[in-house]
Structure 1
Amino acid sequence: MSRVSESDPGAHHHHEHDADAAALASLGYQSEFRRDMSLWANFALGFTYLSPVVGIYTLFAVALVTGGPPMIWWLVIVGVGQLLVALVFGEVVSQFPVAGGVYPWARRLWGRKWAWMTGWVYLVALLTTIAGVVYGSGPYLAQLLGFTAGTRSTVICALILLAIALAINLMGTRWLAMAAIIGFSAELLGALAVGTWLLLTERYQNLSVLFDTEGVVDSSGSYLGAFMAAALIGIYQYYGFEACGDVAEEVPDPTRQIPKAMRMTIYVGGAAAIFVCLSLLLAVQDYAAVIDGTDADPVTTILHNAFGETGTKVVLVVVMISFLSCALSLMAAASRLMYAYARDDMILGSRLFRHFLPHRHVPPYAMLVGALVPAVIVLGSVFSTKALTSIISFATLGIYLGFHMVTFAALRARLKGWVPGGPFSLGRWGMLVNVAALAYGVLAMVNMAWPRTPDVPWYDNWLVALSAAVGVGVGAVYMVLARPYEHSEAISGDAIHGPLGGPTESAGAGHER
Structure 2
Amino acid sequence: MTTTHDEDAHLASLGYTSDFKRDMSFWGNFSLGFTYLSPVVGVYSLFAFAVATGGPASIWAVVIAALGQLLVALVFGEVVSQYPVSGGIYPWTRRLWGRRWAWMAGWIYMIALLVTIASVSYGAGPFVAMLIGIEPSTAVTVACAVGLIVLVTFLNLGGTNLLAKLAFFGFAAELVGALAVGGWLLLTQRHHGLSAIFDTAGTEGNGSYLPAFLTAALLGVYLYYGFEACGDVAEEVKDPRRQIPRSMRMTIYIGGFASFFITLALLLAVPDFGKVVSGEDADPVTTILQNAFGPVGFRVVLAIVLISFFSCALSLQAAASRLIYSYARDRMMPGWHALSRFSPRRAVPPNALLLAAVVPAVIVLGSIVSENALTKIVSFAALGIYLGFMMVVLAALRARIKGWRPSGPFTLGTWGLPVTLVALTYQVLAAANMSWPRTPDAPWYDNWIVLLSAGIVITIGLVYMLVARPHERHDAPHGDAVASTLDPDSGRATEPARVG
Band the TM-score falls in, shorter-chain normalisation: over 0.9
1:162 to 137, 149, 168: 149
- The answer as to 2:279 corresponding to 1:296 is no
Name the residue aligned to 1:44.
31
In structure 2, C-alpha distance between the alignment counterparts of 1:328 and 1:501, rounded to whole Å: 44
Name the residue aligned to 1:349.
335
State the one-letter code of the partner of 2:58: M
Which range moves more in the overlay, 157-166 or 480-489?
157-166
Alpha-carbon RMSD: 1.7
Name the residue aligned to 2:481.
495
Name the residue aligned to 1:272.
258
1:386 deviates by 6.1
1:191 to 169, 178, 182: 178
| Pairing of 1:471-490 with structure 2 (within 5 A) | 471-490=457-476
In structure 1, C-alpha distance between the alignment counterparts of 2:487 and 2:425, rounded to whole Å: 24
State the one-letter code of the partner of 1:107: R
In structure 2, C-alpha distance between the alignment counterparts of 1:58 and 1:475, rounded to whole Å: 31
In structure 1, C-alpha distance between the alignment counterparts of 2:376 and 2:416, rounded to whole Å: 35
Name the residue aligned to 1:448.
434
Which range moves more in the overlay, 481-490 or 291-300?
291-300
1:230 to 201, 211, 216: 216
- The answer as to 2:241 corresponding to 1:262 is no
Name the residue aligned to 1:54.
41
**1:56-81 residue CA offsets vs partner (Å, 9 max, x unmatched):** 01111122222111111111001010
1:500 deviates by 6.5
1:391 deviates by 5.3
The 1:230–1:194 alpha-carbon spacing in structure 2 relative to 1, beyond 3 Å, is same
- The answer as to 2:151 corresponding to 1:180 is no
| Pairing of 1:104-503 with structure 2 (within 5 A) | 104-217=91-204, 222-382=208-368, 390=376, 393-499=379-485
In structure 2, C-alpha distance between the alignment counterparts of 1:377 and 1:360, rounded to whole Å: 28
Name the residue aligned to 1:4.
none
Is the CA contact 1:421–1:500 (under 8 Å) kept in the aligned structure 2?
no
1:488 deviates by 0.5
The 1:60–1:448 alpha-carbon spacing in structure 2 relative to 1, beyond 3 Å, is same
Q: Provide the secondary structure at the position in 2 that maps to 1:481.
A: helix
Which range moves more in the overlay, 153-162 or 376-385?
376-385
In structure 1, C-alpha distance between the alignment counterparts of 2:328 and 2:129, rounded to whole Å: 37
**1:107-129 residue CA offsets vs partner (Å, 9 max, x unmatched):** 00010000000000000111111
Is the CA contact 1:232–1:393 (under 8 Å) kept in the aligned structure 2?
no
In structure 1, C-alpha distance between the alignment counterparts of 2:391 and 2:158, rounded to whole Å: 33
Name the residue aligned to 2:90.
103
Q: Provide the secondary structure at the position in 2 that maps to 1:196.
A: helix
Q: Provide the secondary structure at the position in 1 that maps to 2:177.
A: helix
1:145 deviates by 2.2
The 1:322–1:274 alpha-carbon spacing in structure 2 relative to 1, beyond 3 Å, is same
State the one-letter code of the partner of 2:8: A
Is the CA contact 1:495–1:501 (under 8 Å) kept in the aligned structure 2?
no
Is the CA contact 2:74–2:245 (under 8 Å) kept in the aligned structure 1?
yes
The 1:106–1:501 alpha-carbon spacing in structure 2 relative to 1, beyond 3 Å, is farther
Q: Provide the secondary structure at the position in 2 that maps to 1:237.
A: coil
1:365 deviates by 1.1
Identity of aligned residues (%): 62
1:292 deviates by 2.0
1:210 deviates by 1.3
The 1:270–1:384 alpha-carbon spacing in structure 2 relative to 1, beyond 3 Å, is farther
Name the residue aligned to 1:19.
6
The 1:227–1:381 alpha-carbon spacing in structure 2 relative to 1, beyond 3 Å, is farther
1:276 deviates by 0.6
Aligned length: 488
The 1:392–1:72 alpha-carbon spacing in structure 2 relative to 1, beyond 3 Å, is farther
1:223 deviates by 2.8
Is the CA contact 1:494–1:501 (under 8 Å) kept in the aligned structure 2?
no
Which range moves more in the overlay, 338-347 or 159-168?
159-168
In structure 2, C-alpha distance between the alignment counterparts of 1:408 and 1:178, rounded to whole Å: 35
1:137 deviates by 1.4
Unmatched segments (≥5 aa) in structure 2: 489-500
1:382 deviates by 4.1
In structure 1, C-alpha distance between the alignment counterparts of 2:158 and 2:447, rounded to whole Å: 43
1:183 deviates by 0.3
In structure 2, C-alpha distance between the alignment counterparts of 1:409 and 1:366, rounded to whole Å: 26
Is the CA contact 2:56–2:201 (under 8 Å) kept in the aligned structure 1?
no
Is the CA contact 1:236–1:392 (under 8 Å) kept in the aligned structure 2?
no
1:387 deviates by 7.2
The 1:386–1:271 alpha-carbon spacing in structure 2 relative to 1, beyond 3 Å, is farther
Is the CA contact 1:135–1:388 (under 8 Å) kept in the aligned structure 2?
no
The 1:342–1:165 alpha-carbon spacing in structure 2 relative to 1, beyond 3 Å, is same
The 1:467–1:433 alpha-carbon spacing in structure 2 relative to 1, beyond 3 Å, is same
In structure 2, C-alpha distance between the alignment counterparts of 1:393 and 1:210, rounded to whole Å: 29
Q: Provide the secondary structure at the position in 2 that maps to 1:492.
A: coil
Name the residue aligned to 1:508.
none
1:255 deviates by 0.5
**1:131-169 residue CA offsets vs partner (Å, 9 max, x unmatched):** 111122111111112221222222222112111111110
State the one-letter code of the partner of 2:441: D
In structure 2, C-alpha distance between the alignment counterparts of 1:501 and 1:373, rounded to whole Å: 46
State the one-letter code of the partner of 1:32: D
In structure 1, C-alpha distance between the alignment counterparts of 2:451 and 2:428, rounded to whole Å: 13
TM-score by length of 2: 0.95
State the one-letter code of the partner of 2:233: V
Name the residue aligned to 1:67.
54
Which range moves more in the overlay, 145-154 or 49-58?
145-154
In structure 2, C-alpha distance between the alignment counterparts of 1:390 and 1:67, rounded to whole Å: 24
Name the residue aligned to 1:6.
none
1:392 deviates by 5.2
Is the CA contact 1:36–1:250 (under 8 Å) kept in the aligned structure 2?
yes
